[in-house]
Each structure stands twice: as C-alpha cells, then as structure tokens.
Amino acid sequence: MKALVYHGPGQKAWQEVPDPKIIDATDAIVAVNTTTICGTDLHILKGDVPAVTDGRILGHEGVGTITEVGQAVRKLAVGDRVIISCITSCGSCSYCRQQLPAHCLDDEGASGIGWVLGHLIDGTQAEYVRAPFAENSLHKLPQGVSDEAAVMLSDILPTGFEIGVRNGRVKPGDVVAVVGAGPVGLAAMMTAGLYGASRIIAIDLDDNRIQHAKDFGATDGVNSGSAGWRDEVLAMTDGLGVDTAVEAVGVPLTFEMATELIRPGGTVANVGVHGRSAELKLQDLWIKDVAITTGLVSATTTPMLLKLVAQGRLTPEKFSSHRFTFGSIMDAYDTFGRAAETKALKVVITG
C-alpha cells in the first residue's frame, strides 16, 4: 500500500510500504477512505515531537471501511464504515475506567497515553491502518453521515467540546470567549451552544478567521491585535468578565489573555498545547474563585457528538475548506502548512 511516511524533521514522502497486519486479537484493519491533517502533524514535521521516529506513518484522524478483524472483535465486522478515533484505549485500565482513556496505561506498550496513532504506531494517512482495541477505538457510522462530517469527529470536535466547553463548565446563559479561532477553537464555538451559551466571542489576530467564526456559532468577534480588545470583550459581559474563557492557541500570551478575561466564579479552560511556561498571575486570581482546567482529549464524547451530527444538529463538514486525493497529499500538506495565506481550515484527503 501507499502511505505518508515521516523521515525526520522536515522530511516526508508518499511511498510504498508493507500492508498492516493484525497483531493482537482486539485489532482491526481499516481501509482509509478519508483522512485529514492536524496541526499536531505539522508540529511532528518540525521535529517538536521526538517520540515520532523515522519511518512512522503519520495521521490520527480518519474514516474508513473495516477489511479484517482480530479473533476477539465481536461488535464490529468486515464492511463496517467507521470513524477512527485519535484515541485508542484498552477500556479496562485504571484511567480508562475513570473515563480518561487519553491516559490509557495499556495502549501499545505506551504507558499513559491514548494517542498512539501516527505517533507511536503507524497512523491514518495511508491506504490501510491497523486500529488497536478496535471495539473501543472505532465508531460505526450510521447511514447519511458523510465522510467529511465524520472525519471531524476523530479529533477536533471532541477536543473543542471536552477540553474547551465541558472542562470550561459552560452553562445556560453563559458568556464564552474563545481565544484562537483555528479548527479547535471553532470546534469549541460550534459545541458551546449545546450547553446554552448566550454569547460566544471569537478572539483572534486574523480577521478572516474571526469572520469565519460567525458560521461556527460565534455571536461576536474581537481582534486582539487592537489596543482596546480587552475592554471590547468586557463590554459584552456587563463589564464583569466572561464565564468561560477557552484558550485554543498554545502560547503563553493567549493563556494570560484568557486569565485576564475571566469573571469571579468563572473557568479558564486551556486547550492549547504549550511548549513554554506561561505567567500565572496568582496575585490577581487567588481572590476570584476561578478554576483553571487542562486536558488531553479522551474522545469519550464522540458517540454523543455523532448522534447530533446524524440529526443535523451539528454540521462539522463546514470545517473542510480544501479537498485532495491521496495522490496529492503532498499538496494537501503544503496548503494546510500555509493556512494563513490559503485560508485553509481542514484539508480533506480521500482515497
């Protein structure tokens, strides 16, 4: 088969590789029909994720058709159309039983991390992929849900919802600010409405992204490049601050911005992946009764989100801004890598 193979920082190739095989009785092999590229894949290509080694097939998002199942797989069958979750998990370790499969202790020998696809084992940017713990890691698709909608449920929609909205304790009537209107921030905006947010404020430096956010549930937009950005946000909240501030960028400045917007009793939900420490102004925050949350997506809400997609209540196909075939996956990377110029949100790649 062919696959997108990582060959060290800055190096990748669409090349011939051996077909994946069942290793454990709980595995399934999936023919990948649709995949996409995540910002994390770009981090890997920059060399930021040293656990990814030369020869690894990238990708942790996908929709496909099962072609083979291991002996222990009973609830899935050859021919089933499935979402491949970015989190694969054993279902029975301490963290899995605590509903935190993000930290699965038994995933491919990777003690404590449920994200192994395209990281510690070969991933989904390939014609076929081996899915470990298939019954926990694959979600059967109902008729009528398109691949373009379903592929957004592998990672970005559950991430925005679980780590942004749910950790952010959004309640009916709340004012929610989302710092960063990339795919993950937009996913938080799209799902904040599920818990009844009255106002959803998109904050970004890119006016095009802010404009886009209105199609994803944002009621207001603020460009944080302007001097008065903070007052602009506070004016939308009766001056007291927002109930929930979601950080969806991953740099110290935006985390600090989120902590400056929060009202007493509110929640700062950090979603961004950080590479450096940020300043925590505890001298201002200690008295405010705020909660600060962090998290890695567990993707435990994928079945619930899938029901809403099947009912047309959520329309994540909107994320797909550019379409490619496997043969042009190198162009897909180029387009996604220059998102500010190309206005790419998610690039969808089909087999």
Q: Which is nearer to ligand NAD, 261 or 306 (CB)?
A: 261
What is the spatial distance between Cα 178 and Cα 202, in angstroms, rounded to a whole number? 5
Q: Which is nearer to ligand NAD, 89 or 224 (CB)?
A: 224
What is the spatial distance between Cα 191 and Cα 165, in angstroms, rounded to a whole number? 7
Q: Which is nearer to ligand NAD, 136 or 159 (CB)?
A: 159
Task: Give the containing element (helix H, strand E) for 201.
Answer: strand 199-204
Asked if 302 is part of the footprint of ligand NAD (rule: CB under 6 A), the reply reads no
Residue 91, both tokens: 């279902």
Look at residues 179, 205, 347 and name the one whose alpha carbon lies nearest to residue 259.
179
Rounded to the nearest whole angstrom, what is the least distance from the CB of residue 82 to Zn ion in the complex?
A: 18
In three-state secondary structure terms, 38 is coil
Task: Give the containing element (helix H, strand E) for 348.
Answer: strand 346-350
Beta-bridged to residue 221, according to DSSP, are 202
* Binding window for ligand NAD (CB under 6 A); candidates: 93-101, 132-140, 291-299, 329-337: 291-299
| Residues binding ligand NAD: number (CB under 6 A) | 28
- The counts of H helices and E strands in the chain are 13, 15
Of these partners, Zn ion, ligand NAD, none, which one is at the site of residue 193 (CB under 5 to 8 Å by kind)?
none
Asked if 183 is part of the footprint of ligand NAD (rule: CB under 6 A), the reply reads yes
With beta carbons less than 8 A apart as the criterion, state whether 344 and 320 touch: no
For Zn ion, the binding residue among 30, 38, 197, 246 (CB under 5 A) is 38
Q: Which is nearer to ligand NAD, 76 or 332 (CB)?
A: 332
> 């698709």: which residue's tokens?
141
Asked if 233 is part of the footprint of ligand NAD (rule: CB under 6 A), the reply reads no
Asked if 85 is part of the footprint of Zn ion (rule: CB under 5 A), the reply reads no
Asked if 206 is part of the footprint of ligand NAD (rule: CB under 6 A), the reply reads yes
> 């007052």: which residue's tokens?
231
Rounded to the nearest whole angstrom, what is the least distance from the CB of residue 231 to ligand NAD in the complex?
A: 16
Which amino acid would we find at residue 194?
A: L
Rounded to the nearest whole angstrom, what is the least distance from the CB of residue 145 to Zn ion in the complex?
A: 20
Instruction: Name which of residues 119 to 178 contact ligand NAD (CB under 6 A).
Output: 159, 163
Asked if 162 is part of the footprint of Zn ion (rule: CB under 5 A), the reply reads no
CB-based closest residue to Zn ion? 38
For Zn ion, the binding residue among 106, 155, 204, 247 (CB under 5 A) is 155
Instruction: Name which of residues 17 to 56 contact ligand NAD (CB under 6 A).
Output: 39-40
Asked if 40 is part of the footprint of Zn ion (rule: CB under 5 A), the reply reads yes
For ligand NAD, the binding residue among 297, 299, 306, 347 (CB under 6 A) is 297
- List phi, psi (to 5°) of 83: -90, 135
CB-based closest residue to ligand NAD? 182
Asked if 248 is part of the footprint of ligand NAD (rule: CB under 6 A), the reply reads yes
What is the spatial distance between Cα 307 and Cα 141, in angstroms, rounded to a whole number? 10
With beta carbons less than 8 A apart as the criterion, state whether 233 and 261 touch: yes
Signed CA dihedral, 286, 161, 261, 270: sign only: positive
Radius of gyration (C-alpha) of the chain in whole angstroms: 20
What is the spatial distance between Cα 289 and Cα 133, in angstroms, rounded to a whole number? 41
Q: Which is nearer to ligand NAD, 123 or 183 (CB)?
A: 183
Binding site for ligand NAD (CB under 6 A): 39-40, 159, 163, 179-185, 203-206, 209, 224, 248-250, 253-254, 271-273, 295-297
Binding site for Zn ion (CB under 5 A): 38, 40, 155
